[in-house]
Amino acid sequence: MILRACAVSNPFLRRLAHGAPLTAAECAALVGLTRSQRSVGPRRSLVVEAEPVPRGLVVLEGWACRSKVLRDGQRQITDLLLPGDIHLQHAGLSEHAGHALDTLSTCTIAEIDPGQLAALIERWPGVARALRWSSLQTESILREALTNNGRRSASRRLAHLICEILARLRAVGMVDDGGFAWPLTQDDLGDVTSMTSVHVNRMVKELRTAGLIVLARRRMTVLDAERLAASCDFRPEYLHLAPGRTAPAE
């Protein structure tokens, strides 16, 4: 069946399916929502902090991030957008986005028409539910990040981030035998985990020499997911993913 095959390859559908069972019709409707796609190069700005969000978007391929910059130039990346993640425009709710949104790698971005989205939500209960779930997950990830950056040591913090990314990518089928594309520089990684890139480097080295990961040529491979998770007290419940789809083995 075409829709089923589509659901498997489309990270947007795969992700939302963790939040609500979607009927074939709902899948088709969601696919229709992402018809308007464009490719965006790496390190491009999609949303500027002090301006209203133009419209919603879905990341279909590649990584992007939300970030804030202080007056002294320091940057904090508040959350990562991985394939399947949504950024909803808060239509008319505020003139101020509150954060920047930038691509990290080359991305395929779908623009979402607010009216069309509203119509889908009204018409399809599964879609409404899946979108509520999505925003629940986003908030939950933010709270975990706050805890992670605030309360864990640098090496655990990094390990925890890697575990989270592994789980999220696995949830959309982007992990191949523990390995996946890794577009983040060590500067980026420092801005996510609230450290300096120098210290990130030392922590990466630590995880490497512990035999937990391989990171080279923009590719990350998790060698021992279980030991990595145990080392940093990673418990994936906060991601609210459907069970069986976050475990190391499928």
In the complex, the residues that contact DNA under the rule CB under 7 A are 153-155, 185-187, 194-199, 201-202, 204-205, 217
DSSP 8-state code for residue 241: P
Q: Determine, following the binding rule CB under 8 A, whether residue 199 of this chain makes contact with its own copies.
A: no
- Minimum separation from the CB atom of position 198 to DNA (A): 4
Q: Determine, following the binding rule CB under 8 A, whether residue 138 of this chain makes contact with its own copies.
A: yes
Q: What share of the chain is helix, strand, coil (3-state, %, to 5)?
A: 45, 20, 35
User: Measured between alpha carbons, how far is 82 from 172 in angstroms, rounded to an integer?
Assistant: 9
Which of 152, 199, 208, 245 binds its own copies (CB under 8 A)? It is: 152
Q: Tokens for 147, please give them.
A: 């805890």
Which of 32, 98, 114, 125 binds its own copies (CB under 8 A)? It is: 98
The backbone torsions φ and ψ at residue 219, rounded to the nearest 5 degrees and listed phi first, read: -140, 135
Q: Which of 211, 210, 209, 190 is nearest to 200 (CA)?
A: 190
- Minimum separation from the CB atom of position 33 to its own copies (A): 19
User: Measured between alpha carbons, how far is 106 from 93 in angstroms, rounded to an integer?
Assistant: 30
Sign of CA dihedral 114, 115, 119, 120: negative
Q: Which is nearer to its own copies, 122 or 176 (CB)?
A: 122
Q: Could you tell which of DNA, its own copies, none binds residue 71, using a CB distance below 5 to 8 A set by kind?
A: its own copies
Judged by the rule CB under 8 A, the positions of this chain that interact with its own copies are 19, 50, 66, 68, 70-72, 74-76, 78-79, 90, 93-94, 96, 98-99, 129, 132-133, 135-136, 138-140, 142-147, 149-152, 194, 233, 237-238, 240
